[in-house]
Amino acid sequence: MKNLFNYFKEILVGLWSLITGMEVTLRYMFKKPVTVQYPKEKLTMTKNFRGPIQFVLFDKTGSHDCIGCFLCAKACPTDCYTIEAAKTEGGQKRPTRFEYNVLQCSLCNLCVQVCPTKTLEHSRDYEAAAYSPDEYRAINFIEHVGKRATAQGMTSKLGKPVVEQEEKPAS
Ligand code: SF4
Ligand code: SF4
């Protein structure tokens, strides 16, 4: 009699477990999926996401607002930046060369924090892939921000450099 009782008890426990499992499955069947069909579908990263660094595109300049102060290069622990700067027609110093080696970048955010004109930011790019690492050794920020400005129909209001270039100071 006891064996018969245990037999039915095990059947009931098994059925209950099955019902519980199916309940979870059914509940998730009607929820929005958390996965996306990449690359057809793409995610939008949150504003806290730390992608590779890029220049901020400002309406007021139609470009970046870098003043060639080299503070980012000095703060960078892994020497990611190669910068040259010169005075422009309006007397403001602007970069004439601004290259970034993302392969050395630890995304530590120090350069973003020290920039006095807030012209550096983390991009939301999570698709960093290339055929050769060379494509990431010297990303040209001036060219990159120029392309983004053109895509948005903006024209740069930064003046042209008029004096000899300054070399990046030793860090
Ligand atoms: S995020 Fe950090 S490692 Fe990367 S460029 Fe800026 S300071 Fe250098
Ligand atoms: S800290 Fe900012 S303003 Fe100074 S050189 Fe770097 S990007 Fe330009």
Measured between alpha carbons, how far is 110 from 100 in angstroms, rounded to an integer? Answer: 14
Its pTM stands at 0.79
**pLDDT at residue 170 is higher than 70:** no
Of 97-106, 138-147, 154-163, least confident by mean pLDDT is 154-163
Question: pLDDT (tens digit, 9 = 90+) per residue, 54-108?
Answer: 999 999 999 999 999 999 999 999 999 999 999 988 889 999 999 999 999 999 9
Closest ligand 1 atom number to CA of residue 112: 6
Measured between alpha carbons, how far is 67 from 154 in angstroms, rounded to an integer? Answer: 20
CA of 110 to the centre of ligand 1 (A): 6
Please tell me which residue, 168 or 51, carries the higher pLDDT value. 51
102 lines ligand 1 (CB under 6 A): no
**pLDDT at residue 167 is higher than 80:** no
| Per-residue pLDDT, 169 | 56
Measured between alpha carbons, how far is 161 from 89 in angstroms, rounded to an integer? Answer: 6
Measured between alpha carbons, how far is 94 from 84 in angstroms, rounded to an integer? Answer: 9
Ranges of each domain in the chain: 1-31, 53-151
| Per-residue pLDDT, 129 | 84
CA of 8 to the centre of ligand 2 (A): 75
Please tell me which residue, 89 or 46, carries the higher pLDDT value. 46
Of all protein residues, whose CA lies closest to atom 1 belonging to ligand 2? 115
CATH number of 53-151: 3.30.70.3270
| Per-residue pLDDT, 166 | 55
The residues near 165 (Cβ < 8 Å, ≥ 6 apart) are 84, 85, 86, 96, 97
CA of 16 to the centre of ligand 2 (A): 64
